[in-house]
Amino acid sequence: MTVNWCLLRSTQIVAISKLLLNILKLQILFFFRHLISFNLMKHASLDALAHQEDAVLVSLAMEAEGKIGQREKKMTRKEILERKKAIENVIKSASAVKDHLSFFPHFRHYRTNGLYAHLEAGCGNKLTLHRKRYIQNLLKLNMEAPYGPEWPAEEKIKRREMVAKEACYIFVYEISSEDVDEMSRLGDRAKTCSCEGPIVGFVHYRFILEEEVPVVYVYELQLEPRVQGKGLGKFLMQLIELIACKNRMGAVVLTVQRANLSAMDFYIGKLGYTISAISPSRVDPLLGLEKSYEILCKTFDDEAQAVLEIKSQRTNYMENRYETEHGMDDHMIKSEERIEFKYSWSRIFLGRCC
């Protein structure tokens, strides 16, 4: 009995000891858990504080950046205004020159392909009555058909444009057979002569700003049918390009009726002009379908090229002309349509994003 009781007591003591040990373990575990939680909270608070400090620093930096940015914007605006004023002065200076031919005396005479002519400069607000009538008659002769039903309204506009103070002219006078020998005796084509003859064509051009780029805008290049195809048009456009470069213009720009295919081929195919990025068909293809004209350009510097030109337009135009005249298979047509579709919608998308 005593032995059994002793065994029972020892068993109870062992059980109680294990229980106490487990309780101690639990307390130690709870202690460490609270300690860890406290440290985590402490670190979290420090992190939060650090984040707040970072936020304040970022805010201060952004504020400082904003002030600097505003200062830079003011400087940029000042520079832009100064540049704009400088460009306006360049245009005024170019427009004030009475005779641009004086800088290119070798272009005063033309003697090629059986055509003999001499050139004279003029100004829109100093046109004689004879010259005004000649311009009106030649414009009607050459442009009534390409404009079609739009011509009556367009003719009124052209009559106002031709007498403007800003209008610069180069008139082409055919040299009579009696004066050819005199021109030959001069030898140096830079010398002037007293040759007289009828007007057979003219160029009307102006110095203007186009998309903040100073350009020579050719309003008219008109030649009588009998002197066309003799290289005179190319000769005159070369002169215009020289005048543009001499006066620090970024490009030569002009407008051509789409229906005037011979003019389109002349400027793009022979002279290397491109359909400009500011032409209606390039700005908005849908709007371009409603317009009867294209704006062409030839640029002389990188800035003008970036604003006014679209790369490879001359190549595309010539390819399209060849395909129209000679035909092409359906696969090629579909490929061209896909390219044009992607290009058109990319232009619209970029236009909306900008």
What confidence tens digit (pLDDT) does each residue in 62-82 have?
555 555 455 445 558 888 888
Do 274 and 240 form a contact (C-beta atoms < 8 A)?
Answer: no
Tokens 């970072």, residue located: 54
Task: Give the three-state DSSP class for 131.
Answer: helix
| DSSP 8-state assignment for residue 269 | I
pLDDT in tens, 153-168: 999 999 999 999 999 9
Q: Residue 103's Cα: distance from chain center in Å? A: 29
pLDDT in tens, 328-352: 444 443 444 433 433 343 333 333 3
**According to the model, what pLDDT value does residue 44 have?**
44
3-state helix, strand, coil in the chain (%, to 5): 65, 15, 20
Domain 97-353 adopts which CATH fold?
Aminopeptidase (3.40.630)
What is the Cα–Cα distance from 343 to 282, expressed in whole angstroms?
A: 10
Q: CB neighbours of 314 closer than 8 A, spacing ≥ 6?
A: 268, 272, 273, 274
pTM of the entire predicted model? 0.66
pLDDT class of 183 with cuts at 50, 70, 90: low
Q: Which of 93-107, 129-143, 175-189, 294-308 has the lowest mean pLDDT?
A: 175-189
Geometric angle at alpha carbon 142, from 291 and 130, rounded to 5° = 125
Amino acid identity of 353?
A: C
Where along the chain do its domains lie?
51-96, 97-353
What is the Cα–Cα distance from 72 to 199, expressed in whole angstroms?
A: 56
| HSE-up of residue 86 (Cα within 13 Å, Cβ side) | 8
Q: Which of 71-80, 214-223, 253-262 has the lowest mean pLDDT?
A: 71-80
Taking CA atoms, 4 is separated from 7, 10, 11, 68, 185, in Å, by 5, 10, 11, 95, 155
Amino acid identity of 175?
A: I
Long-range contacts of 320-327 (CB under 8 A, 24+ apart): 321/265, 321/269
**According to the model, what pLDDT value does residue 20 have?**
72
**According to the model, what pLDDT value does residue 341 have?**
38
In terms of Cα–Cα distance, which of 236, 235, 215 is closest to 296? 215
| DSSP 8-state assignment for residue 248 | T
Q: What's the mean per-residue pLDDT of the chain?
A: 78
pLDDT class of 143 with cuts at 50, 70, 90: very high
pLDDT in tens, 35-52: 555 454 444 444 544 454
Do 201 and 224 form a contact (C-beta atoms < 8 A)?
Answer: yes
- Residue 220, judged by CB atoms within 10 A of its CB (0-12, 13-18, 19+), counts as buried
Do 258 and 292 form a contact (C-beta atoms < 8 A)?
Answer: yes
Taking CA atoms, 17 is separated from 14, 28, 30, 67, 250, in Å, by 5, 16, 20, 74, 101
